[in-house]
Amino acid sequence: MSVSDFKLREVATSEFMNRGLGAKLTDNSQILIQGLSQGDFSGTEPSAISFACGSIIERVFWQAYGSWIGYFNAVPPVTEFEKEFLGEHAELLKELEMPPQFQEICLRLGHLDSATEERFYRETFPFIPLRLPMPEWFPAFQASLITSELLNDPPITTFFLFLQQGDVKLFNEHTPDPEAVFSHLQGDDFTAPFHADPKRPEPVIAGFIRYIEFLSAMDGIFPDISTASFAEAGEAIPNRIVDRDILFSFLRQYRWRFPVRGFDRYQAALMAFSRLTASEFEKYPAMGLQWSFVETFMAVMRLSRKFFFEFSESDLQGEEDPRVIDETQRRRRAINLRIQTLRGDLAFGASASTS
């Protein structure tokens, strides 16, 4: 598909803003802002503010990336009302330890005149200057958009709220009731995650189950692929792999939900889920089920690390496996080469990578 063939850009933009993920993020923020104005979140105001700001800023990121690659038409980043709210709370995001990029964008959206105009994207986001829109990136972008809608369902929101403000001691004091966990999985009927009883573990575990589903779905879009075979054959890494690496490195706007200091709570939820899983399978002796806790634990940790935890370069310095180091370096070289091509530093088609 060539770019001029993409006739549905206006439809895609309208779907996102009015019915899809963009609309959900807008709705979430409006409900929270309204609740805050009515004093509904006594004692949990910082989390409510964090989720309201995070939802608006995440939507702006999606809008920005979508128009950057040519999938969306550019639309004004925020309304005057949203701008005012973000401006009022921008400083608080620092205290709440939102990712630095979010703090910065919040400040800009809250204070710059351009925040309600399309030029804001050009002035603010350090995009690779693409010579052309990238229709070959659309499928992975679309799939990420659709998958990320899962993060706005009530059960998973409850889980992230627990990571923000939960009490691990209280959480561990209660043995989860499987029936109640089952009932909380009915996300559509559980419409008030911000008002859930913070002492009960069941809604958190239900949210953790949905969180695992999100991780698995994202892992399908951005799978771990070894490129060693290309290196051994003396071939360049195909563009379709490199392009996903580039998109993956940009599409992190959902990560604000996982707080920097949320790891203890995350571990508590993971262990509670594991205990529940073991006890549920024990109910089916006739099936002879054998479950490897370690395998599931490792898989959840790997996916969480991949899609939510932020690691600095120093975190990776302890990595000693030469295959991992080779793989990382090879991927980085391929990304740099591809970016050079996309920027126009190299002529199109002159890249060593191939489609």
Partner 1 sequence: MTLPQHGKCFALLSNASDEEVKRAVIFIHGFNGSARSTWTDFLSLVDDPAASSNWWDTADLFFFHYQWDSIFRQLTNNTLNIFKFIENIFPTPEIIGRAHAYRSESFAYEELVLVGHSEGGLLLRKVIIEAAERDGAILAFMREAKYQKQSQPMPQGMLKAKLRLFAPALGGDMQSGLAGVIASLPVVSHALSSSAAKKGMDQGSPSVTEARRRTDRYAEDIWFDCFRAHIIWAEKDSIINSEKYAEDKQCHHFPPGSSHTSVCKPTLTYPLPLAFVEEGVDRYECK
Question: Is 125 one of the binding residues for partner 1 (CB under 8 A)?
Answer: no
Specify the residue for token string 């989720």: 51
**Closest separation in Å from C-beta 300 to partner 1:** 5
Q: What is the largest CA-CA distance in the chain?
A: 67
| 69, 98, 212, 334: residue in contact with partner 1 (rule CB under 8 A) | 212
Residues in the chain, total: 355
Question: Is 228 one of the binding residues for partner 1 (CB under 8 A)?
Answer: no
Angle between helices 138-148 and 21-37 (to 10 degrees): 30
Task: Tell me the H-state helices in 96-177.
Answer: 100-111, 119-124, 138-148, 154-165, 168-173
Contact 86, 106 (CB under 8 A): yes
Question: Is 182 one of the binding residues for partner 1 (CB under 8 A)?
Answer: yes
Contact 190, 163 (CB under 8 A): no
Residues sharing a CB contact under 8 Å with residue 52, sequence separation 6 or more, in sequence order: 28, 29, 32, 33, 36, 85, 89
**Closest separation in Å from C-beta 179 to partner 1:** 8
Compare residues 45 and 149 and give the one whose CB is closer to partner 1. 149
* Contact pattern from residue 69 through residue 98 relative to partner 1, giving x for each residue in contact according to CB under 8 A and a dash for the rest: ------------------------------
Specify the residue for token string 């939900």: 257
Question: Is 149 one of the binding residues for partner 1 (CB under 8 A)?
Answer: yes
Stretch that binds partner 1, among 48-56, 101-109, 143-151, 306-314 (CB under 8 A): 143-151
Rounded Cα gap, residues 5 and 254, in angstroms = 30
Burial 274-305 (b: 16+ CB within 10 A, else e): bebeeeeeeeeeeeeeeeeeeeeeeebeebbe
Within 2-21, which residues bind partner 1 (CB under 8 A)?
5-8, 11, 15, 19-20
Stretch that binds partner 1, among 40-48, 119-127, 214-222, 333-341 (CB under 8 A): 214-222
* Contact pattern from residue 20 through residue 59 relative to partner 1, giving x for each residue in contact according to CB under 8 A and a dash for the rest: x---------------------------------------
| 17, 57, 106, 221: residue in contact with partner 1 (rule CB under 8 A) | 221
**Closest separation in Å from C-beta 192 to partner 1:** 17
Query: Which of 93, 73, 78 has the alpha carbon at shortest distance from 16?
Result: 73
Rounded Cα gap, residues 199 and 97, in angstroms = 24
Question: Is 299 one of the binding residues for partner 1 (CB under 8 A)?
Answer: yes
- Reported as type and span, the H/E element at residue 99 is none
| 84, 136, 264, 310: residue in contact with partner 1 (rule CB under 8 A) | 136
Rounded Cα gap, residues 184 and 186, in angstroms = 5
Compare residues 165 and 274 and give the one whose CB is closer to partner 1. 274
What residue ranges bind partner 1 (CB under 8 A)? 1, 5-8, 11, 15, 19-20, 135-136, 138-140, 142-144, 146-147, 149-150, 178-179, 181-182, 185-188, 209, 212-217, 220-221, 223, 225, 238, 240-241, 244, 276-277, 280-281, 283-284, 286-293, 295-296, 299-300, 303, 355
